[in-house]
Structure 1
Amino acid sequence: MTDTPEKIDYSKTLYLPETEFPMRAGLPQKEPEMAAKWKQMGLYKRLRASAAGREKFVLHDGPPYANGNIHIGHALNKVLKDVITRSFQMRGFDSNYVPGWDCHGLPIEWKIEEKYREKGKDKNEVPVNEFRKECREFAQGWINIQAEEFRRLGIEGDFDNPYTTMAFHSEARIAGELLKIAMSGQLYRGSKPIMWSVVERTALAEAEVEYAEVESDTIWVKFPVVEGAADLKSAAVVIWTTTPWTIPGNRAISYSSKIEYGLYEITEATNDFGPQPGEKLIFAKRLAEDAATKAKVTFKLVRDVTAAELGAITCAHPLADLGYTFAVPMLDGDHVTDDAGTGFVHTAPSHGREDFEAWMANVRALEARGIDTKIPFPVDDAGFYTEDAPGFGPSAEGGAARVLDDNGKKGDANKRVMDALIKANNLFARGRIKHEYPHSWRSKKPVIFRNTPQWFVYMDKTLDDGTTLRTRALSAIDQTRFVPSGGQNRLRAMIEQRPDWVLSRQRAWGVPICVFADAEGNVLKDEKVNARILEAFEKEGADAWFAEGAKDRFLAGEHDGEKWQMVTDILDVWFDSGSTHTFTLEDRPDLKWPADVYLEGSDQHRGWFHSSLLESCATRGRAPYNAVITHGFTMAEDGRKMSKSLGNTVTPQDVMKESGADILRLWVMSTDYAEDQRLGKTIIQTNIDAYRKIRNTIRWMLGTLAHDKGEEIAYADLPELEKLMLHRLAELDQVVRKGYDEFDFKRIVRALSDFANVELSAFYFDIRKDTLYCDAPSSLKRRSALFVIRKLFDCLVLWFAPMMPFTTEEAWLSRDPKAESVHLEQFPTVPADWSNEAVAEKWKGVRAVRRAVTGALEIERKEKRIGSSLEAAPVVHVADPELLKALDGLDFAEICITSDISVVAGEGPAEAFRLDDGTKVAVEPKPAEGTKCARSWKITKDVGSDPDYPEVSARDAQALRELAALN
């Protein structure tokens, strides 16, 4: 009885991929564990130690507000910052990220007040520093929560030692910056119309205002002419306004010498009240007919009215019977247009910036005419009329009228003013209009323009060096890099047009305007007093200003306490955040000033970029940054704004819980962040799919490298295909580095993803699988492929590391469990000689011919004439001499993954397969001849040529013999 030969399991003789790196990522479970590990190993400190002595790259963190869980905008912002700092860290810089938080201001104050109201307490009955202490504790609680949420996103930075605007040192430095501005004469107390939130009881800056559509009362009002040309004295000038409540504040009428005006007489009237036939009125000629329609009257033009005649007119106030007995002059103003209204602008210097400027520009001329130029205060901080508004103030019948109530709702002011105008027969017409109106971006309620004493920083006062704050800021903008470039024009336009910077807020939680002023608003300038203030703030925080005996403590008996009073307003929180560069960049030895980059949402052109620029220019003459990067806002998948009521909100917490932070980060990297982005389930799934392809590429390389011995192969000894892959790495190295330099992450992701999916998985890996799995241990081709895949792995994982820190860390440690962290590595150095244009050009031709073969075989598969490409041995006809030359010396069957192939010159038969792209290649599909190798599955004629291994080809027999010898 003879023994039956033992059947060989050829699969066990192959170098098949082996890895514990799973196909399913399980990011929601793995990422928190990895983040905890980084925290435990002190990765942040390890990064700092490894970068010691390198050139610094500093991205200064714009502080989020410490009052709630992070939202998708936070996630977008922080991921962008993290990728930038990581990419510079991995390119030879000391790139330290110090997170920060904005802690002062109204939103936190409101939260504490809400708690008081729930308990029936009155904020004003609580000692101010006790109230401030509760605000501080509230902010700290949210800082702790947000810090953990940011870390869950994979953000790496100095979370153990962040900066906060409420730290004692920070408050001292903020106060110090204010005192520098005060000492240089740039701070002043002025009375001018500012935007005022009745709901929040505080002044607002432009940066704190957003615009929303409202429907308002609109009125046309007659101002009787009392002085002027004889035939004009019986006429009235008509103005138009969308804020009837400002009529008590009117002091003048503005016109334009560039507009044509006319005197009109009413010939017919069909209205319920107001103008009647025979009345004479003055309008801009272009707008007269529209006004007549609104009032339901018919006009006839009596004559033209010249600009000189308008300038000589004086009007009576339309509410003169209520006590507005002063003269109303006419002012020529460049701000007047004939686009809408009447061509005349109702000028109330208490209630509008342009009105105020027009009034102030004419003060001397008006005083020379005997006109009282004092600007009234018609509305108080609660939106009620004062006694400066006769007939509507506290002593009026029915009490004071109100513009807005505590909830931001319209009060009775408009109605009472219109009723009074009708009674005085000076309301020409009325209506309703929808228009954009300023709202507080915190309370989302309308604001009013109100004249009130506030503290300002001059924009146009000439400073010691001959500049102004405005010219300094504009010059700094010209010297700053903007990404995208359009941000430069946007910020420049805002600086060119902005009024003086109003610093004061009428709140309790913040850094005080810590100056002493006399009754005229003059500021006490004494460096010894300043030093005492700053020393106290450094030790006790800004609470020292509100402590009992603070005035005596700081004046120290050196100044008259009756003359010099403490200012109790607090600083605009934008001044706080605009000063962060001082106590972060300047004061921390691990950072530097100015920052290389500031990065925030595009709304910060009016916010943090703006206030930082002004503060730094006021105190240091230049911007605190060299570059400004802006990103857009995240919308729902359908393009609408995310809203809880619409149910289309995507939270970073949900995405991380369901898919993982690296998926969210990949979305950030893949999107055009400079524009508004969209996010929803479909987009998340698209990124999950893209992530899986990248992960599977990494997984296959890890499995293949399980058989890698770490052998270095001389470049000259590499096959051309391996040289082509190294050339592509050299090209990608330039793309990646340029992309990170230009903050063009989308370009990097696209380039690396396409490379991984198209050039590696579908081309190089596909071709080399046979060699890698089946070749003998001694095969140079196999060893060369392992060498190149090792380089491919290193490059791809390191290039992706800033973007997908969790996945790349997992892959790096899977490759080398003894490694500390991929994030302690540097980007790979790509040798110059890897760039090989000659090989790249040749392989363009090789791949062109390969595409034709692949196309032909795909049809064969669809028609089920072959099962796999290894069953084919096509004949390839090449009519292009250059393409034919490119195939010289290559194993083209291996490249096309066929068992055999014939390449011949010529056009080929008419029925042969051809691509539609004009490539002069024709393919005749032919079946492979021979026997199928039991190990490699190639069909060859040399199967059984080695009697010791009768089931396999000669190549595989040699591999089996070498493997047997090794065992």
Structure 2
Amino acid sequence: MCAEKTDTAPDYKDTLNLPKTDFPMRAGLPKREPAWLDRWAEIGVYDRLREKQGRTPFVLHDGPPYANGHLHIGHALNKTIKDMIVRSHQMMGFDSRYVPGWDCHGLPIEWKIEEQYRKKGKNKDAVPVIEFRQECRKFAEGWIDIQREEFKRIGITGNWPNPYITMDFHAEAVIAEEFMKFLMNGTLYQGSKPVMWSPVEKTALAEAEVEYHDKESFTVWVKFKVAEPAEHKLAGAHVVIWTTTPWTMPSNKAVVYGADIAYGLYEVTGTPEECWVNVGDKYLLADNLAADVFKRARLAEDQYTRVGDVSASDLAGLGLTHPLAGAEGSNGEWDDIRDFRAAPFVTDTEGTGFVHCAPSHGMEEFELYRDLGMLEQVITYNVMDDGGFRADLPFFGGKYILNRKGGEGDANKAVIDKLVEVGGLLARGKIKHSYPHSWRSKAPIIYRNTPQWFAGVDRKLDDGMGDYGDTIRERALRSIDELVKWTPQTGRNRLHSMIENRPDWVLSRQRAWGVPLTCFTKKGALPTDADFLLRNVEVNSRITAAFEENGADVWYEDGFKARVLDGIVNPDDYEQVFDVLDVWFDSGSTHAFVLRDREDGTEDGIADVYMEGTDQHRGWFHSSLLQASATKGRAPYRNVVTHGFTLDEKGMKMSKSLGNTIVPEEVIKQYGADILRLWVAQADYTADQRIGPEILKGTADSYRRLRNTMRFLLGSLADFDEGQRVDAADMPELEQWVLHRLAELDKTVKAGYKSFDFNGVWQAIFNFATVDLSAFYFDIRKDALYCDGETLTARSTRTVLDLLFHRLTTWLAPILVFTMEEVWLERFPGADSSVHLVDMPETPDDWINEALAAKWAKVRQARRVVTAALEVQRAEKVIGASLEAAPVVHVRDVDVLDALTRVPFADVCITSDVQLTGDPSPSEAFRLPEVEGVSVVFEKAEGEKCQRCWKILPDVGTHAHAGTCGRCSTALGG
């Protein structure tokens, strides 16, 4: 509403109280955000928040990212969610601390240094280990500095000058100390069993270090002849096995069958021109699979016949010969009779109904023969750490399962060719299937029996911390169910299932960059001997002290063993272990050197929140739970919050090859970090999130609409002072209704922040700002703000706008950290001013007025009908503005009519006048189907247009000030 100059009236524009603000419509975030970052650092916002006294601590413990590359969009999602949690809890009255951290040890960094070496033609093994480790340390330090600045650019608050870093000397000392608790409490043991092994990286891997990709594999159907007893009715027949790992055939020690599977004896009666079977050959197969097997062997249905039933008792006690037995040049390697027995894991859903056993390369087979006490008879050591066969293995020595880059090696072909040569193959082919790969080198892995160090998850702990169980598994499962709240709840189910079924934890890695397994073994002792491991408190203390002073590199110094053992035991009696710890043990131990040991940690060493991606159910959530269960007796967290993965706009996984990656840096350059943060808030992070150009455009549009709301507030509050403030009880109904909505929203926002529901918080605030405020309240009250002067309505409106300002800025500050700072400083400039230094205001409960809200819900419904009726007239060019109308509104319901008559309904509808009637509605009246009982007959307003407020009223021109209505003339002092 602003004045229009005519020939007969003065220009009243300067008499209006129009909005006054320098707050720009265009945000210019990419250029302006860095200045706010500098300002926050200059005034020390994070440190000043720590100085606030009497607050309950709230600690989100940071799951450490890896210090080996620029941030990707998943990092931005992760850190922004964390930042919203930290900031919102701070502004709700907590002492909300955040210590960012970095994972620095392990294969990813070591792999990068090795790549550098390979490019230079340098041999890693020729470099002294301490020198190599120092290069790894330097590499990690460089990326920490880069990532720190990239995280800060997104607006992440925290103790950036003093983060936690797993390669700090104190951290390395504590990690070793935590490992030695496993040593002392009896959970640590050395065992030899099949583990996931990366031939490319020459180390064992944990499940969390493995990802699954499609892989094409060789597949073979191999014949084992029934050899014993010679007089058995099945002697001479062949048991057929199927495998997708032909390279394991040289390590075969047995074949197993299912006790409840129906088997048959099948005889070949005819053959095609080219095949590996002969007429008269007899084969033992599961009945459900026989037809498929013969099809693979290229036999037609009329070229074989079932000649007899085979029961489990028929199979019991048989002995088989390996297909390579007796082969010329085999040197008797495979001549021993192969064991043949029933096993519970055999099925007849695929393959042949028989399973070939190489217990060195399969966990189920290993466990079967371990429980039988037969491991010594079936374990082989044919595959070396680089995935090559031992040099003296007949036929296959020096062959590799994988080549140096992780592609197919020559071992599978060599094995298949030899099986063909000796007549041991029935059929062969290829299969595409999901196969485990190292997530670092991206190369396939194998299962390989190798001595490793394990933490026994079912070993009884006698440590006085048995409130939640006596084993790691028991404590972890009870923690999941009794001590932790899960967001979303599905996270509980996933981790519980993993812990319930997991094997013992493989702690050792055969690498150089990490915290070593700080233990010693007695020379000549067996792993099962009681004195195999040196368990000595003083030795442990010496190790911890040395690490605290000089870091874990001292473990590799000449003479270190003698220094720590001297005077306690004879150093010559012990071997020093040089494997390094699984990097997940490092990050799983962070609760000890961050939460427990730091001043900004927690009194009990337990975090309020761990928050990471869903992959961390098998990663950080998992390792932290296992580690703390062994050393603290319970989980190190009270809440676990999980987010999904980031996908492109079509829901596809991002990859450089597809060209669909979204890089945080590029989004910030184009839109600003607040748009990236708003994308996070708009998404349901508990599921996978999509991001792309169109989605970001939509996010930017939502931001602009919100920015307009804040700009209106700033402009309308430019001249507000405390003398204008009106008590809530004295305000008009419309203002009291806004306060009611504010009180409702306050509960929604704070409950949402407490439950980490940022999408719910954003949607509630955004809908309120755009629908309740911009499209309704602001639209109605512009007239009073601009034209009324110091009336109760105008003062009440400004009072409400001030209350809105303080709540909207603080509610939104955890999400739009830069924009809300800009809004705040526009109104409250000052050297030390910052929205991030204030709390969300307390909102009085007595603002809640359900009866008033119900009444105004009816008013708004009726207003919808009037507004829609006027839009028809506007579209038909009958009117240009709603102030040209004075509609007649027919209301059937007496209560609704009464409600409308008790409010300034013309002002609510932004018309110059309105007539309310309970008379029956004429047929030509406008109606909205969804609003029953309200209809509108259009009438034009009568009178002249006020040259100041533009309302068309009969009294215009009859007052002291020319061309004005009575209200405007009074405002002008006449």
Q: How far apart, in 2, do the equivalents of 1:424 and 1:446 lie?
A: 29
Q: 2:582 maps to which residue?
A: 572
CA 1:704–1:487 in 2, change beyond 3 Å: closer, same or farther? same
1:449-488 equivalences under 5 Å are 449-464=447-462, 467-479=470-482, 480-488=484-492
1:389 shift after superposition: 4.0
In the alignment, the residues of structure 1 paired with residue 131 and residue 8 of structure 2 have an alpha-carbon distance, to the nearest angstrom, of 88
**Alignment partners' CA distance in 1, 2:112 and 2:399:** 30
Structure 2 residue aligned with 1:788: 800
The separation in 1 between residues aligned to 2:648 and 2:728, in whole angstroms, is 51
Residues 344-386 of structure 1 show CA distances to partners (whole Å, capped at 9, x for unaligned) of 11111110111211121222xx59xxxx625111100111111
Q: What 5-or-longer segments of structure 2 have no aligned partner?
A: 1-5
Q: How much has 1:935 moved relative to structure 2? A: 0.5
1:558 offset after TM fit, Å?
2.6
Deviation at 1:428, TM superposition (A): 1.4
Contact between 1:197 and 1:440, CA under 8 Å: does it hold in 2?
Answer: yes
Secondary structure of the residue that 1:675 maps to in structure 2? coil
Question: Following TM superposition, by how much is the alpha carbon of 1:462 offset from its aligned partner in structure 2, in angstroms?
Answer: 2.7
8 Å contact from structure 1 (residues 377, 388) kept in 2:
no
Counterpart CA distance in 2 for 1:573 and 1:223 is 43
Q: Which shifted more, 111-120 or 884-893?
A: 111-120
1:380 corresponds in structure 2 to 384
Q: Which residue identity does 2:659 align to in structure 1?
A: G
CA distance in structure 1 between the aligned counterparts of 2:115 and 2:259, rounded to whole angstroms: 53
- Aligned-partner residue type, residue 471 of structure 2: T
**1:912 positional shift:** 1.1
Aligned counterparts of 1:271 and 1:747: Cα–Cα separation in 2: 70
User: Secondary structure at 1:178's aligned position in 2?
Assistant: helix
Change (3 A) 1:271 1:355: farther
SS in 2 for 1:459: coil
Q: Is the 8 A contact 2:8 2:962 kept in 1?
A: no
Letter in 2 for 1:165: T
Q: Distance in 2 between matches of 1:666 and 1:627?
A: 24
Aligned pair partner of 1:320 in 319, 325, 337: 325
Return the offset for 1:557.
4.0
1:341 paired residue number: 351
After superposition, where does 1:15-94 map in structure 2 within 5 Å?
15-50=17-52, 52-94=53-95
1:628-667: per-residue Cα shift (whole Å, max 9, x none)? Answer: 1111111112222222222221111011111100000000
Deviation at 1:529, TM superposition (A): 0.7
> 1:776 offset after TM fit, Å?
2.4
Residue number in structure 1 paired with 2:940: 927
Shift of 1:683: 0.6
**Aligned counterpart, 1:753:** 766
Selected match of 2:520 from 493, 504, 516 = 516
| Structure 1: 4+ residue segments shifted above 4 A | 4-7
Q: Is the 8 A contact 1:907 1:922 kept in 2?
A: no
Kindly indicate whether the alpha-carbon contact (under 8 Å) linking 2:883 and 2:912 is maintained by their aligned counterparts in 1: yes
Contact 2:9/2:947 (CA < 8 Å) preserved in 1? no
- The 3-state SS of whatever aligns with 2:607 is coil
Displacement of 1:560: 2.7
For each residue in 1:132-181, what CA deviation from the matched residue of structure 2 results, as whole angstroms up to 9, or x when unmatched?
Answer: 11111111111011111111100000000000000000000000011000
Distance 1:387 1:192, change over 3 A: farther
Give, in angstroms, the shift of residue 481 of structure 1. 1.6
- The CA distance in 2 between the partners of 1:356 and 1:885, in whole Å, is 83
The whole-number CA distance in structure 1 between the counterparts of 2:407 and 2:280 is: 40
In the alignment, residue 20 of structure 2 is paired with which amino acid?
A: E
Aligned residues: 944
In structure 1, what is the equivalent of residue 130 of structure 2? 129
Q: Which residue of 2 aligns with 1:965?
A: none
Residue in 2 aligned with 1:553?
Answer: 563
What amino acid maps onto 1:904 in structure 2?
Answer: T
Which of 643, 650, 653 matches 1:631?
643
Verify the 8 A CA contact 1:616 1:623 in the aligned structure 2.
yes
Contact 2:359–2:378 (CA under 8 A) maintained in structure 1: no
State the TM-score, normalized to the length of structure 2: 0.95
**What amino acid sits opposite 2:481 in the alignment?**
D
Superposed displacement of residue 106, structure 1: 1.4
Q: Which residue of 1 aligns with 2:3?
A: none
What secondary structure does 2:454 align onto?
strand
The amino acid across from 2:400 in the alignment is R
Q: Which amino acid in structure 2 is aligned with residue 623 of structure 1?
A: A
Cα distance in structure 1, aligned partners of 2:275 and 2:906: 96
User: Which of the residues 492, 497, 501 maps onto 1:497?
Assistant: 501
Query: What amino acid does structure 1 have at the position aligned with 2:804?
Result: L
Aligned to 2:418: 420
Gap regions ≥5 residues in structure 1: 394-399, 963-967
Q: 1:18-48: per-residue Cα shift (whole Å, max 9, x none)?
A: 0111111111111100001101111110111
- Counterpart Cα distance in 2 of 1:702 and 1:11: 20
Letter in 2 for 1:10: Y
Q: Is the 8 A contact 1:198 1:405 kept in 2?
A: no
| SS of the residue 1:919 aligns to | strand
Is 1:771 matched up with 2:772? no
TM-score of the two chains, using structure 1 as the length reference = 0.96
Match of 1:739 in 2: 752
Q: CA deviation at 1:492?
A: 1.7
Give the percent of matched residue pairs that are identical in Structure 1 and Structure 2: 55
Give the aligned residue type for 2:954: K
- CA-CA distance at 1:121 after TM superposition: 2.5
Partner-residue secondary structure (3-state), 1:282: strand
Query: Which residue does the alignment assign to 1:703?
Result: 715
Indicate how the Cα distance of structure 1 residues 672 and 187 shifts in structure 2: closer, same or farther if over 3 A, else same.
same
Q: Which residue does the alignment assign to 2:408? A: 410
- Which string of whole-angstrom CA distances, capped at 9 and with x for unpartnered residues, describes residues 682-731 of structure 1? 11100000000000000001100012123332222111100110111111
- The 5-angstrom pairing of residues 792-807 of structure 1 reads 792-807=804-819
Counterpart residue number, 1:657: 669
Residues of 2 paired with 1:337 and 1:47: CA distance?
A: 63
The reply to whether residue 529 of structure 1 matches residue 539 of structure 2 is: yes
Q: Distance in 2 between matches of 1:675 and 1:937?
A: 51
Query: How does 1:343-362 map onto structure 2 within 5 Å?
Result: 343-362=353-372
- Identify the range of structure 1 (117-126 vs 527-536) with the bigger mean alpha-carbon deviation: 117-126
Residue 669 of structure 1 aligns with an amino acid whose one-letter code is: A
The AA in structure 2 aligned to 1:445 is A
- Preserved CA contact (<8 Å) 1:776 1:958: no
Moved more, 438-447 or 484-493: 484-493
Counterpart of 2:479, as a letter, is A
Q: Distance in 2 between matches of 1:30 and 1:694?
A: 18
Structure 2 counterpart SS, 1:213: strand
Alignment of 1:363-402 (within 5 A): 363=373, 373-386=377-390, 389-393=393-397, 400-402=398-400
Question: Which has the larger displacement, 894-903 or 621-630?
Answer: 621-630
Correspondent of 1:292 among 274, 291, 294: 294
Matches within 5 A, 1:507-906: 507-518=511-522, 519=524, 520-521=526-527, 522-592=532-602, 593-710=605-722, 711-777=724-790, 779-818=791-830, 820-906=833-919
**Would the alpha carbon gap of residues 621 and 299 (structure 1) be closer, same or farther in structure 2, given more than 3 Å must change?**
farther
- Tell me the residue number matched to 1:397: none
Shift of 1:299: 2.7
Structure 2 counterpart of 1:407, which letter?
Answer: K
Alignment of 1:241 with 2:247, yes or no, is: no
Moved more, 77-86 or 284-293: 284-293
Q: Contact (CA 8 Å) 1:289, 1:299: kept in 2 or not?
A: no
CA positional deviation for 1:5 = 11
**Deviation at 1:129?**
1.2
Are 1:943 and 1:954, in contact at CA under 8 Å, matched by a contact in 2?
yes
Question: Matched residue of 2:248: which SS?
Answer: helix
Computed over aligned residues only, the root mean square deviation of the Cα atoms, in angstroms, reads 1.6
- Following superposition, the deviation at residue 405 of structure 1 comes to 1.8
Q: Contact 1:907 / 1:920 at 8 angstroms: preserved in 2?
A: no
Return 329-338 or 54-63, whichever deviates more: 329-338
State how far apart, in whole Å, the 2-side matches of 1:444 and 1:385 are: 22
Is the Cα–Cα contact under 8 Å of residues 317 and 341 in structure 2 kept in the other structure? no
Which of residues 891, 903, 907 in structure 1 aligns to 2:920?
A: 907
Contact 1:487 1:605 in 2 (8 A): yes
* In 1: Cα distance, 2:539 partner to 2:451 partner: 24
Farther-moved stretch of structure 1 (641-650 vs 590-599): 641-650
Q: In 2, distance between residues paired with 1:745 and 1:812?
A: 21
